Chain A
Amino acid sequence: MSQPLLKVENLTKLFPVSKGFLRTPTDFIHAVDGINFEIQPGESLGLVGESGCGKSTTGRMLVKLMEASSGHVLMSDKTHTDDLIDIANIPNDQMKRFRRRVQMIFQDPYESMNPRRTVFETVSEPLTVQNIGSLKEREERVSEMLRLVGLAPPDAFLFRYPHELSGGQRQRVAIARALVLDPSFVVADEPTSMLDVSIRISIMDLMLKLADEFDVSYLYITHDLAVARYMCDRIAVMYLGKIVEIGDTEEILGNPQHPYTKALLSAVPVPDPSFKREEVEILGGITKAINPPSECRFIERCPWAKDVCRTSDHPPLEDKGDGHYVACHLVESALTSA
């Protein structure tokens, strides 16, 4: 197996819940609770789950917009290819170098851009910060990026402000800004969920094309399994801070094993009225992981829960064959195809 681009080990984020007069934190929300995964160079991993499952928190920790409570995010270092370095240990004076390699695209193209900056200022900002090139070279680079993201001719867009652009065009600018430094890893947090259907596909196609051209890996955060299927090589399903299932996209969608994945998949509306879905009923609604008990996180909603689930700790992710990992006591190893 080749060296992964990114390796996440026991990554955890706890948010304190303050109560009482002294506001001393008494409880903790386990937003992300000891997750592990790897991303290979050039591979895209989809992180799916419902609101509040910790997928955005994970994404933010990977680009160091948020410090982890514990655990490690290890990245391969381009200059010393053998070593993985822990991003938490990167000294402040080397953070700039880290940021050249890791970028983020946000959900809301209306909020992630400074309204008082032109497209040129927005896209050239990373180059300015990194001290790359002369003004002339930056201009050329920005024009080239705009052309690549489909804002052509660039001259028509360079000096526009965000309010003069449509939602789709803004997201194109956000993509240009994220890729202008030629990063190797980009966290994309629901980049198309605010866009209309017809525009969504062109942005998704653009991101796929650029992933190829720039040899970039995405962590693609989405609540939409159909979108994850279109964009990602592998999918990780999160539930209340835990990854409950991870594997190749078609394998997860075609042969889901974890009860939560099954329920999630069966609830996705299908644009085909003649399609009969399998009904998987799960109990109750999503809660918050405030000081969660040690047993399986999904136990309260799981219709198949058995004694072993109540008496053991939250099950670890186990390889059930062909890199299909499931965290459930009830799933036999050696998967049989459903």
Chain B
Amino acid sequence: MSRPLLEVDHLVMNYTTEKGDVSAIQDVSFTLNEGESLGLVGESGCGKTSIAMSLLRLVAENARFDSGEIRLDGTDLLSLTDEEMRQRRWNDISMVFQGAMNAWNPVYKVGDQIREAMDLHFHPRLSNAEVEARISKLFELVGLNPAMMNRYPHEFSGGMRQRAIIAMALSCDPKIIIADEPTTALDVIVQDQILQELKKIQADLGMSIIYISHDIAVIAEVTDKIGVMYAGKLVELGSTREVFARPRHPYAFLLLSSTPSVTGPRRKLAPLEGEPPDLLNPPTGCRFHPRCPYATDQCATDEPPMEDAGDGHQVACWNWKEVPELGGLTK
């Protein structure tokens, strides 16, 4: 196995607010290898976007890294100066932000906006003609007509704008792309086209991608590895195939059981009772215990560590052995 490209090591991040600290990322560890795709899933407010922003160190002003490291090729990103970090963004890690397709500046041509990103970040200094050639190559890669680079954003459809955003994210040849809800506002056919495109680009360029989504069906389509997050904690981590076939954490189990599908037998879905906790005052012990049907007394007091459930499939639960097999979802 190759050395991990990215290692997130016991990361803890809090947001300081007037009411107290919001525990957004609590002791999260994972690794990403070269050419691998990792999906982070969870509901609103579970910390998935906070992790994405932390990897780029684009966190809000009130965010505070209390411990842990984010190592890219062995260098801790949290120890870099602001300027050193700026040099790394786009070149090493770039990002497709949530809703970015609506963030194009309407008065500049799309090609010029990509050129600006390259002027600011790309290390090999290119001549104008070289930049143009590169942008048209990127447009072809994401399935856009290169002539479109001289058009304005309003001349693009939603799907085309998102493709152009992906071209921009690729413009500086990054090692890792973070795609935060890359297809959430798109219709299902366009979503499928873009996901397939991303998969192809990833394979062709040997890139690593971190997908962030609330939609586990999307994650199932495109990732090798999946991390399930709940209330700022990573509760399960394993190969996508493994986790979907045999979720070990009760939350992952219930999340999968409550996802409707167009395939497989039509079945009653199991609702997840209650609501996610307030991270100003996260529950003691396991953060999922107030909603967990498998909770015992220990869960309310002791925080479960990540444990190996076999084959590198990790789970943070005291009672993961009690979680039944998923019925009817896998074929």
Contact = CB atoms under 8 A, between A and B. Distances in A.
A275 interface: yes
B270 A201 contact: yes
A196 B262 contact: no
Interface in B224-245: 240-241, 244-245
Interface in B253-277: 254-256, 258-264, 266, 269-273, 275-276
A335 to B, nearest CB: 19
B266 A229 contact: yes
Given A270-B220, A271-B217, A272-B330, A202 B262 contact: no
Given A269-B215, A269-B221, A272-B244, A205 B191 contact: no
Given A225-B262, A269-B195, A274 B188 contact: no
Contact of B191 (A199, A269, A272, A286): A269
Interface string B172-199: 0000000000000001111111010000
Interface string A197-209: 1111110110000
Nearest to B241: A273
Contacts of B241: 273-274
A227 B260 contact: yes
Contacts of A269: 191-192, 195, 215, 217-218, 220-221
B51 to A, nearest CB: 18
B214 A201 contact: no
A51 interface: yes
B53 interface: no
B296 interface: no
> Size range of the interface on B?
35 or more
Contacts of B215: 197, 269
Contact of B261 (A267, A271, A286): A271
Contacts of B189: 50, 263-264, 267, 282, 286
A200 B261 CA distance: 14
Nearest to B41: A197
Contact of B221 (A200, A224, A226, A270): A270
Nearest to B187: A50
A267 B244 contact: no
Interface of B: 43-44, 157, 159-160, 187-193, 195, 214-218, 220-221, 240-241, 244-245, 254-256, 258-264, 266, 269-273, 275-276, 329-331
Given A201-B269, A271-B220, 20 more contacts: A50-B189, A168-B275, A196-B43, A196-B44, A198-B272, A199-B272, A205-B269, A226-B217, A226-B261, A230-B269, A267-B188, A269-B195, A269-B221, A271-B261, A272-B220, A273-B240, A273-B241, A274-B330, A282-B189, A285-B157
Interface of A: 50-51, 166, 168, 196-202, 204-205, 223-227, 229-230, 250, 253, 263-275, 282, 285-286
7 cross-chain pairs, A with B, having the tightest CB-CB distances, nearest first: A198-B272, A267-B192, A269-B217, A226-B260, A50-B187, A202-B271, A196-B43
